[in-house]
Chain A
């Protein structure tokens, strides 16, 4: 379970990039690929191996009109899921 002090990073061999054919962001990983939804895309754009989850939540909270607690829960759930699937390390 991710904590707000955790610093998420893409694991080795994971690439987050924009696909112009589909006009959408894709997460490419060893033998796997993910099509992140709009919320996950906004979160993943802030994953750089330096920002902690708290900073990601702060950033999103200034830009999106939603309660901070809800954003934090979304961020942690998204990153936990991608961590369990081997794309992110926390």
Chain B
């Protein structure tokens, strides 16, 4: 096997704590307790190593990364190491003082998420009263500070009808980028799938709205559209391929090829407290197991898209086919593709189901 190329991005999940309770969250059901979180110095050590092994961008995520008081200190440290810094936030903690802290630290970009455009529905789905209003304030602070803004909308069948209004809100807020992201069904979202997964007709509607907006806004606002692979003919190249582009560090310091990987049985994920990032990237079983094409089942190995889709998502293969080493059932060629069709039919038959909110046990 040839030497893997250096990783491009580090996803630093600073904490699983979050003031919101979104039922579409892809965090694991069993979240890391606050007392197990890496210390400030642990994270600084990770960031130094990340820059040395070729990581270019660090995405501070969670949970809510702003729930960590040391976020500005970590951003400043990352920027000092030459890393491009991105904060992925719900915005509800982004006060004037917090914004000043991010700016002083040298943050490059903020991605701000919204639950909906209807304040009442947004607050209900986020489980945080007044949250939507705070997000609007956060967007204003981000723009006033001169930073670029990405407005992120996660869509599902409860809010998909308002996708045109979401794009209009992003425009009104002065976003440079928007993400219209269909829910990815992991963790809490998988638990709530029947209440979230849109029908084919709803999906086609949203796709048409996004395509029209893209044409209208070309060169001004870029819209990234993440399609739900339950309705796609081909699976997504999860994380751009296992161990190919990203390292995800969980709040307690486990290095994961993707943030849902802890659901996979039979793995020991290395901790950044016990191994270097270089050892983890190049030498760990966890990162090598599904890297490249050697592990692939026949369906993938014989496919001319094997180095485009990379077999899809291992966690989805486990969740839906019961075996992480199978072709992702999202692929129309997968032996287990019928499970996707069954899930779509089941969700379509489930109207007005209550959501299970994301909460720490």
Residues of A within 8 A of B (CB): 11-13, 15, 19, 21-22, 26, 28, 30-31, 33, 83-86, 89-90
Of the listed stretches B53-61, B89-97, B182-190, B314-322, chain A binds B53-61
Given contacts A13-B148, A15-B84, A31-B111, contact A26 B56 (CB under 8 A): yes
Are A21 and B6 touching (Cβ within 8 A)?
Answer: yes
Instruction: Let me know if A22 and B6 touch, CB within 8 A.
Output: yes
- List the A side residues contacting B108 at CB < 8 Å: 13, 15, 28, 30
B146 at the binding interface (Cβ < 8 Å): yes
Question: CB-nearest residue of chain B relative to A14?
Answer: B148
Please tell me if the beta carbons of B146 and A30 are within 8 angstroms of each other in the complex: no
Given contacts A21-B52, A31-B59, 4 further A-B contacts (CB under 8 A): A26-B56, A28-B57, A33-B8, A86-B176
Residue contact A12 to B177, C-beta cutoff 8 Å: no
Kindly provide the distance from the CB of A85 to the nearest chain B CB, expressed in whole angstroms. 6
Is A31's CB under 8 angstroms from B54's CB?
no
Give the docked Cα–Cα distance between A28 and B59 (Å).
13
Smallest CB–CB gap between A28 and chain B, Å?
4
Is A83 a contact of B219 with CB atoms below 8 Å?
A: yes
B86 near A31 (CB under 8 angstroms)?
yes
On whether the beta carbons of B177 and A30 are closer than 8 Å, the reply is yes
For residue B9, which residues in chain A have a CB less than 8 angstroms away from its CB?
33
Rounded to whole angstroms, the CA-CA distance of A12 and B144 in the bound complex is 13
Q: Give the one of B8, B52, B108, B219 with max A CB within 10 A.
A: B219
Q: Would you give the shortest CB distance from A47 to chain B, in whole angstroms?
A: 15
Residues of A within 8 A of B222 (CB): 84-86
Closest CB of chain B to A31's CB: distance in Å? 6
Whether B109 lies near A31 (C-beta < 8 A) is yes
Which residues from B are CB-within-8-Å of A85?
A: 222
Chain A residues positioned under 8 Å from B98 (CB to CB) = none
Would B218 and A31 count as touching, CB distance under 8 A?
Answer: no
Chain B residues with Cβ under 8 A from A19's Cβ?
54, 56
CA distance A12 to B57 in the complex (A): 16
| Cβ contacts under 8 Å, A33 to chain B | 8-9, 56-57, 84
A12, B8: Cβ atoms closer than 8 Å: no
CA distance A31 to B224 in the complex (A): 10
CB neighbours (8 Å) of B31 from chain A are: none
> How many angstroms between the C-alpha atoms of A28 and B79 in the bound complex?
13
Q: Closest CB-CB distance, A12 to chain B, in whole Å?
A: 4
Please list 13 pairs of residues, one from A and one from B, whose beta carbons are closer than 8 Å in the complex, sorted by A's number: A13-B108, A15-B108, A19-B54, A30-B150, A31-B59, A31-B150, A31-B177, A33-B84, A85-B222, A86-B176, A86-B222, A89-B219, A90-B219
Among B59, B147, B219, which residue has its beta carbon within 8 angstroms of that of A13?
B147
> How far, in whole Å, are A13 and B107 apart by their CA atoms in the complex?
9
Q: Which residue of B lies closest to A35 (CB)?
A: B8
In the complex formed, the residue of B with least CB distance to A30 is: B109
Quote the shortest CB–CB distance from B10 to chain A (angstroms). Answer: 12
A21 and B54 contact, CB distance less than 8 A:
yes
Q: How far is the CA of A12 from the CA of B147 in the complex (A)?
A: 7
Asked if B111 contacts A12 (CB within 8 A), the reply is no
Residues of A within 8 A of B219 (CB): 83-84, 89-90
How many Å lie between the Cα of A21 and that of B53 in the bound state? 7
Q: A33-B8, A33-B56 are in contact. Are A11 and B176 (CB under 8 A)?
A: yes
- Which chain A positions have C-beta within 8 A of B111? 30-31
- Residues of chain A within 8 A (CB-CB) of B146 are 12
Q: What is the chain B residue whose CB lies nearest that of A86?
A: B222
Q: Which residues of A contact B150 (CB under 8 A)?
A: 30-31
**Among A21, A26, A90, which residue has the most Cβ atoms of chain B within 10 A?**
A21
